[in-house]
Amino acid sequence: MESVTSYIPHREPFLFVDEIVEMTDDRIVTTKMIDPSEDFFKGHYPSSPIMPGVLICEAIFQTGAILISKIIKESEGENGLEGVPVLTRIQSAKFKKMVKPGDTLTLESSIVEKLSNVYYMKGSASVDGKKAVFVEYACCLANS
């Protein structure tokens, strides 16, 4: 399977996906090891560090962007799909478990519906098989 960076433009220090585990036409699973030395742990919160929920969501969104980019790559020349996946909506975000230094996130994202250049998606992040975050969101293809 290709590397994460062959699908999305994100790079360190704002890349929140380490590895693609599985990818089908409408679903993807990735992982991210949460390094205890991440800068955000210094201030969130020093005595009891947890990964900010917005960054967990970002990892889910990056996972979904990889899937959309795969679809775009496979369809180049066939139906004119082009652009960069850009987040346009976040809804129904639910935070159920804290993510701590040293945890490994398992990230899943799937396409619920596609209308024109908009992808309606759902995603989740889990630690040790327990859901930490669930979110529904939408992305559209923007000209780069």
On whether the CB atoms of residues 132 and 126 are closer than 8 A, the answer is yes
The per-residue pLDDT for range 57-99, each reduced to its tens digit, is: 999 999 999 999 999 888 864 555 678 899 999 999 999 999 9
Q: What is the pTM of this model?
A: 0.95
Q: Active-site residues: which are they?
A: 44
Q: 135 in helix, strand or coil?
A: strand
Between CA 130 and CA 100 the distance in angstroms is 13
pLDDT tens readout for residues 130-144: 999 999 999 999 886
Sorted by sequence, the CB contacts under 8 Å of residue 102 that are 6+ apart come out as 34, 36
The pLDDT of residue 79 is: 55
Structural domains in the chain, CATH included, are 16-142 (3.10.129.10)
Instruction: Note the helical H segments in 47-105.
Output: 53-75
- Please give the average per-residue pLDDT across 36-50, as a whole number: 96
